[in-house]
Amino acid sequence: MRVQDQYDIVLFDGVCNLCNNAVDFIMQRDKKRQFKVGALQDEHVKKMLKSYEINEEYLDSLVLIRKDQVFYKSRAALEISRKLNALWPLFYGFIIIPAFIRDPIYDWIATNRYKWFGKKETCRLPSEEEQNQFLSEEDML
């Protein structure tokens, strides 16, 4: 069975501080362990991107893969919020705002994320406690 049939896959820019903080936020609120995360720059993740016909150089958005569906930008964020603990699923209500309004706001933040939040020199590596939440090469077999 494919990993994306068992988990929602959250792909993020691994050098972006904002993106890394968002991943921490997701993992802390994913009490049911419904998500696996991976940096868009990782080689095994790039193979997954190819199978979904996503350009492997695409780093400008959060990407959510759920089985055979791919969600980008604000839709990905809303779909993720829907499965988090506490009151975060309430944010899914913003789905009623059309994407042509939501996504330009998302794009504005994405365009400025390095300037506002900074950037790491290399992709984030998971801690020992986080390793089972990150995509691994074994997940791709």
The domain that contains 23 carries what CATH number? 3.40.30
Is the per-residue pLDDT at 126 higher than 90?
no
Each residue's pLDDT tens digit, 48-105: 888 888 877 777 778 999 999 999 999 999 999 999 999 999 999 999 999 999 999 9
Helices 99-117 and 73-81, packing angle to 10 deg: 90
Q: What residues make up the domain containing 90?
A: 3-132
Which amino acid, residue 114? Answer: Y
Query: Do the beta carbons of residue 49 and residue 23 sit within 8 Å?
Result: no
Number of domains in the chain: 1
Q: For tokens 């968002």, what's the residue? A: 22
**Residue 88 covered by a domain:** yes
Instruction: Say what the pLDDT of residue 141 is.
Output: 62
- The percent of residues above 90 in pLDDT, for the chain, comes to 67
**Residue 137 covered by a domain:** no
**Residue 24 covered by a domain:** yes
Read off the tokens for 56: 């492997």
Among 17-26, 110-119, 131-140, name the one with the lowest average pLDDT. 131-140
**Residue 140 covered by a domain:** no
**Residue 138 covered by a domain:** no
Q: Is 10 exposed, middle or buried (0-12, 13-18, 19+ CB in 10 A)?
A: buried
Average pLDDT of the chain, as a whole number: 91
Tell which residue, 26, 131, 134, 22, has the closest CA to residue 84.
Answer: 26
Q: What is the DSSP letter of 119?
A: B
Q: Is 43 exposed, middle or buried (0-12, 13-18, 19+ CB in 10 A)?
A: exposed
Instruction: Say what the pLDDT of residue 49 is.
Output: 85
**Residue 139 covered by a domain:** no
- Rounded-to-10 torsion of CA 38, 105, 85, 130: 20
**Residue 111 covered by a domain:** yes
Residue 117 to residue 131: CA distance in whole angstroms: 25
More confident residue, 43 or 105: 105
Read off the tokens for 52: 């979904």
